[in-house]
Amino acid sequence: MLSRLFFKKSIMKKIKCLEMKSISKSFHGIPANQDINLSIESGEIVGLLGENGAGKTTLMNILYGLYQPDSGQININGNRIRINNPVESISHGIGMVHQHFMLIKNHSVIENIALGYKGTPFFFPKMKIREKVHLFSKKFDFRIDPDKKIWQLSAGEQQRVEIIKALLNGAALLILDEPTSVLTPREIKELISILRGMKAKGHMIIFISHKLDEIMEICDRVIVLQKGKIAGSADTKDTDKKSLARMMVGRDVVFNINKEKLAKGKKVLSVENINVNGDKGLPALNNISFELFENEILGVAGVSGNGQRELAEAITGIRPILSGKVKIKGRDITNKSPRCIYDNGVSHVPEERIRFGIAPGLFLYDNAILKQHHLKKFSSRYFLRYNRIKNHTKTIVNKFKVSTHSINTRVRNLSGGNIQKLILGREVSEQPQLLVASHPTYGLDVGATEFLRKHLLELRKQGSSVLLFSEDLEEIFELCDRIAVIFDGRFMAVLDSDDERLCDIGLMMAGSKKI
């Protein structure tokens, strides 16, 4: 009762139809969006597809008021509106969940929601927001503890906090930029059911994804962008994965690659009984041991949060090893510095690419040699050899098809997928003995994913070994010679990828079967 006296109701804004008309936007004279038309109606889920750098995020940032278009207009229910900043966008009923969450990790769910929530009252703000979170949790089956700190939540839970934030502000249209790339398969299912619930209640959703299966599953309609322009659109019931991929990339994409059988070479990596703690100081890896050989890809399958990140970080020198040993070609690299480990032939594509993979404010060419600046070919005495560095960068950009107008631009201006391509290019450019790759195809479009998978097989053929962490079982089975299943910091099995016992991989991942 008291709360009713003090608190405003958050009501979903009424939008029947939203249109973006002839939207164009350039950065430094290079077009990112050209003459784009997009419309969406109440109760519709529209997919936005396109290669890395096609202009999807730019278009949505315009709708959310982060960028101003050079030309074009936005209409809501037939009336032209102006969106100068996100506050105005929110006031029109538009909400956006960015690919990289914008939450403050040391604050609780309630505190994060209170930030930027107009309806936060002066009296009893916590009580009010807790009540709201409960309300939305019930309505959309969110299941979230409002008093937990953000750092204690999984990626899926953090995403739900972002969605609740948008809904509390009255969002009728929710923009989700690659929402599933950070989620586990179970969390993806939960998200899909939340989105279906929102659709049934009349919300409209714009869903950006590179995963064609998901797009086919939940979208009513798909719009495909190519190099900043509309390449086509289709109702999902009238199209299929292959046609969408062709529309996006302009050619047929191979979804299944056949790997050549290779005999394994000499031992490259040996991990002997290592024990490692996680971020919260509790054991994350429990006596893990395995070996990896030349010409071999070993996949680590498992539900995220079972020690994958800690294992990758322990091997590459980012996380201390409490006991046990890691050796590369017989040399002990346990607890050596990341640079020393790199110099021993170990490359790393990290899980959190923005935090650990690049320096966003530096130029492309600086980022292309982040761990290699001390190599003789890039520096002499105290000076960097910029000519060589720039040539090297150009080679990576061309080979990995990093879409950028110049290498003299800051990395933060690249699209998400293109940042990933640059990191991959850098990490494999020196033909590593071991590549530790965590979700290397996250955020890559179908064409780039195909290219990367072929490249990993090429590295394997040339004698490298790869330790591949992936949530995508199809990817694991397609690329790996052996598969380790991780659960609760332990390996449940390490088997050849054609071993029949792997039909129980689901049980092993859930911890209920050990081989």
Ligand X SMILES: Nc1ncnc2c1ncn2[C@@H]1O[C@H](COP(=O)(O)OP(=O)(O)OP(=O)(O)O)[C@@H](O)[C@H]1O
The reply on whether position 52 binds ligand X by CB under 6 A is yes
**For residues 445 and 471, which CB has a smaller minimum distance to ligand X in the complex?**
445
Interface mask toward ligand X for 201-230; x: CB under 6 A: ------------------------------
| Residue from the set 56, 98, 392, 482 that interacts with ligand X by CB under 6 A | 56
418 makes contact with ligand X (CB under 6 A): yes
**DSSP per residue over 414-476, as a string?**
S-HHHHHHHHHHHHHTT--SEEEEESTTTT--HHHHHHHHHHHHHHHHTT-EEEEE-S-HHHH
Query: Which of the listed partners (Mg ion, ligand X, none) does 108 bind, with a CB threshold of 5 to 8 Å by partner kind?
Result: none
Burial of 79 from C-beta contacts in 10 A (0-12 / 13-18 / 19+): exposed
| Residue among 416 and 425 whose Cβ is closer to Mg ion | 416
- Beta carbon nearer to ligand X, 50 or 146: 50
53 binds ligand X (CB under 6 A): yes
Based on CB atoms, which residue is closest to Mg ion, 345 or 416? 416
- Per CB under 5 A, contacts with Mg ion among 396-415 are 415
What SS3 state is found at 506? helix
From the list 57, 120, 158, 209, which residue makes contact with ligand X (rule: CB under 6 A)?
57
CB of 414 to ligand X, least distance (A): 5
CA dist 12 and 329 (Å) reads 61
The nearer residue to Mg ion, 404 or 415, going by C-beta atoms, is 415
Cα of first residue to Cα of last residue in the chain, in angstroms, is 58
Q: Is 416 in the site for Mg ion (CB under 5 A)?
A: yes
* Shortest spacing between CB 59 and ligand X, in angstroms: 7
Work out which of 38, 46, 58, 128 binds ligand X, going by CB under 6 A: 58
CA dist 423 and 419 (Å) reads 6
CA distance 12 to 93: 7
E runs forming strands in 77-228:
79-81, 94-97, 173-177, 204-208, 221-226
Backbone angles phi, psi at 255, to 5 degrees: -90, -25
The residue among 53 and 350 lying less far from ligand X, judged by its C-beta, is 53
x/- map, 429-468, ligand X, by CB under 6 A: ----------------x-----------------------
Segment near ligand X (CB under 6 A), from 277-285, 334-342, 410-418, 485-493?
410-418
58 binds Mg ion (CB under 5 A): no
Give me the residue whose beta carbon is nearest to ligand X: 417
CB 28 within 8 A of CB 71: no
Burial 104-140 (b: 16+ CB within 10 A, else e): eeeebbbbbbbeebebbbeeebeebbbebbeebbeeb
Q: Are 202 and 139 within 8 A, CB to CB?
A: no
Q: Alpha helix (H) ranges present in 297-442?
A: 308-316, 338-343, 364-367, 386-399, 416-428
Q: What is the CA radius of gyration of the chain?
A: 24
Backbone phi, psi, residue 220, to 5°: -85, -35
Closer to ligand X by CB, 67 or 117: give it: 67
Site string for ligand X, 2-41 (x = CB under 6 A): -------------------------x----x---------
Token pair, residue 477, equals 């089975």
Asked if 392 interacts with ligand X (CB under 6 A), we say no
* Interacting residue ranges for Mg ion, rule: CB under 5 A: 57, 415-416
Residues of the shown chain interacting with ligand X in the complex, contacts defined by CB under 6 A: 27, 32, 50, 52-58, 403-404, 413-418, 445
